[in-house]
Amino acid sequence: MAASKSYGAIAKIFHWLIFLLLAAQYAVGSIMPHIGRGTLNEGWVNWHLSIGAAILFVILLRLIWRLSFPVTLSTGMSRWESILAYATHLILYALVLIMTLLGWAAANARGWDVKLFGIVTLPAIAPNGSSWGHEAGDIHNILVYVLLGFIVLHVAGALYHYYVLRDRVLQRMLPADGAS
C-alpha cells in the first residue's frame, strides 16, 4: 500500500491519547509512595498499574494501526533531520512498549495482578518473588528518565520546526491539518 503524506484522524487521536496517558502516568509515578517490600497494591500504586495496562493496550493498537496505514515523514527535511526524527519516533514506540512490559513483570514479581480497565486480569509474566522481575523493576525505574529524555528531544524538535524553521511539521499532528 502507498504511504500517506499526512496523519489521519485515528493516528492523531492515538498520538494525543498516548501523550495524555503518559502525562498521567508520570504524575502518578512521581506522587505514588516509593515501592518497597511492604508496599500494597492500593491507592496511587493501583492507579499506576491500571494506567500502565491502558498504555500497553493503546500502544499495541497504535502500532497495528501505524503498520497498516504507513505515513511518510514531511518532505523538505535535510537527511540528518529525517534520520533523527525517524530514529526518535522508533525509539519512542519501543521505549513505551518496553516500559509497560517491564512494569508488568515488576508488578507480578511483587505478587500483584495487573488488570486491564479493572476487569481483565492479565496473565503473570514473572513469578511472584522472581529476581528477574525485580530487576525488570530496577530497569523500569531507570528507563523512566531515558523515555523522558527522548520525549523532551521529540517535543524540542516539534517546537524547532514551528518557531525556527517555520514549516508545517508541527501542524501535521494537530487536529485541523490536512496534507502537507
The contact set with ligand HEM (CB under 6 A) reads: 15, 18-19, 22, 25-26, 29-30, 34-35, 48-49, 52-53, 55-56, 66, 71, 73-74, 85, 89, 92-93, 96, 99-100, 103-104, 106-107, 114, 137, 140-141, 144, 151, 154-155, 158, 169-170, 172-173
* Cα–Cα distance for residue pair 11/31, rounded to 1 Å: 30
**Which amino acid does the sequence have at 151?**
I
Taking alpha carbons only, the member of 134, 107, 137 closest to residue 123 is 107
* Cα–Cα distance for residue pair 47/114, rounded to 1 Å: 11
> Is 88 in contact with 158 (CB distance < 8 Å)?
no
Smallest distance, ligand HEM to C-beta of residue 108, A: 8
* Cα–Cα distance for residue pair 38/97, rounded to 1 Å: 28
Return phi, psi of residue 66, to 5°. Answer: -60, -40
Smallest distance, ligand HEM to C-beta of residue 80, A: 15
Smallest distance, ligand HEM to C-beta of residue 19, A: 4
Q: What is residue 169's DSSP assignment?
A: T
Return phi, psi of residue 124, to 5°. Answer: -75, 130
